[in-house]
Amino acid sequence: NESITGQINVEYKKPSTSEKIYVSGFASDAGKLESNINGSVMLNDSWSTMIFAHAETKTGARDHNADGFRDEPDIRQYSFMNRWDYLRHDLTFRAGIKYMQEERIGGQFDYNRNDPNTWNDAYGINIGTKRAEAFTKLGGVFGPSENMSLGWIQSLTYHDMTSSLGYNMYDAIQKSYYTNLLYQYFPGEKHTVDAGISYRYDHYDEARNAWEVPPERVVPISSGETVESVPGIFVQYTYTDSARMTLLAGVRYDFYRHHGAQFTPRIHLRYEITPGLTLRASAGNGFRTVHVMAENMFYLASSRTISIADDLDIEEAWNAGINLTGYIHFGERELRLSGEAYRTSFIKQIVTDLDSSPDMVFFYNLDGESWSNVFQIEAQMQPVTGLDVTAAWRWNDVRQTIGGNLL
């Protein structure tokens, strides 16, 4: 998935470098109240622990266009995390648990989330989520000159969502397990080799129902269980020539239970042409399994009938991009100039067709071409301390074959 859409890496505060205790609060005239707290304890030279907590509520939604509907949803969210770290010169161990509970209320102001019969009088949207996670990370270095390392990552996730959007209801439970065993070898200062094996297991249990009109009983529309079991192997080589050039090339092989074997190559290059002028380039392909209802649940809030093809395939795309960044100095100030171009070309894709019928939304496999070209140039400067000025121009060319036409 990250090979197609990109990935955000979230780094949590670590007990050894964070505050002993930190508390923050936030309030706005839009009715939002938020509080965050984290605290860390160093138990001894090796063991430490940390607690994170978050609470958020948002009520009193506005109705700026006076249509009787909330402009933004009411939100109640609580989350908690506890992590434990064991750090030694040659060994690192981390473990933790996370829990999040959230409720989002939308629709008309007359909708009452505490009254199950309110939908007789007002349209409402109610989405509840409970998510629990546990993870461990174990790693160590070894070898005559400590030029090898071994790591083992595990994670367990339980995600439970219940939702009602007017007369439509969608409930889903996902149970996931992921493990990754990694080996790293430094044969020299400029070379690094990474290799490993991974395994991912996902169990999905989905149900879509609707109330009869007039509402008397619940009518099942679709339900089912899906299991994905994906073992994989990968190897990656990194060449680093001081700070001037970095070349990363890797391949991985995954075997999907329903889609067979998938081979994924990837290459990244960073090259400093001259001091202050750097070139970055990347190319490769990626695969993604689509879960139509989970990713397009908002269509249940419309009057369209949803039609999903029975033979949906995995998504596959090739992408390539180049970026050139340079700096021009004006005394103590510098102007940053950058230009980039990226292309994503889909070999397989799930099409969302809203054009074939005004009363329906169709999901089916791509039959034709689909691509995205993006070009951007940007200039950034700080003319005086405390003032950043940015100017950018961006051009998007996005096309997809829908209903036999390239649009």
Instruction: Encode pLDDT of 298-328 as tens digits.
Output: 999 998 999 999 999 999 999 999 999 999 9
pLDDT of residue 16: 81
pLDDT of residue 86: 95
- Closest-CA residue to 326 (of 261, 276, 386, 392): 276
Residues 125 and 315: their CA atoms lie apart, in Å, by 30
pLDDT grade for 216, boundaries at 50, 70 and 90: confident
pLDDT of residue 2: 55
pLDDT of residue 117: 63
- Closest-CA residue to 342 (of 394, 406, 401, 380): 394
The residue-averaged pLDDT of 179-199 equals 94
Q: Is the torsion defined by CA of 42, 43, 47, 49 positive or negative?
A: negative
Q: pLDDT (tens digit, 9 = 90+) per residue, 83-135?
A: 999 998 889 999 999 999 999 999 998 888 776 666 677 889 999 999 999 99
Residues 315 and 37: their CA atoms lie apart, in Å, by 40
pLDDT of residue 6: 67
Contact 197, 235 (CB under 8 A): no
3-state SS, residue 3: helix
Write phi, then psi, for 121 (nearest 5 degrees): -115, -25
DSSP 2: H
pLDDT of residue 397: 97
Using the predicted structure, report yes or no on whether residue 233 has a pLDDT greater than 70: yes
Alpha-carbon separation of residue 139 from 48, 87, 90, 136, 202 (angstroms): 17, 10, 8, 10, 25
- Which pair of structure tokens corresponds to residue 9? 């890496």
Using the predicted structure, report yes or no on whether residue 344 has a pLDDT greater than 60: yes
Contact 366, 390 (CB under 8 A): no
The number of C-alpha atoms within 13 Å of 150 and in the hemisphere containing its C-beta is: 2
Please give the share of the chain, as a percent, with pLDDT higher than 90: 72
- Which pair of structure tokens corresponds to residue 123? 């349209």
Q: pLDDT averaged over the chain? A: 92
pLDDT of residue 375: 98
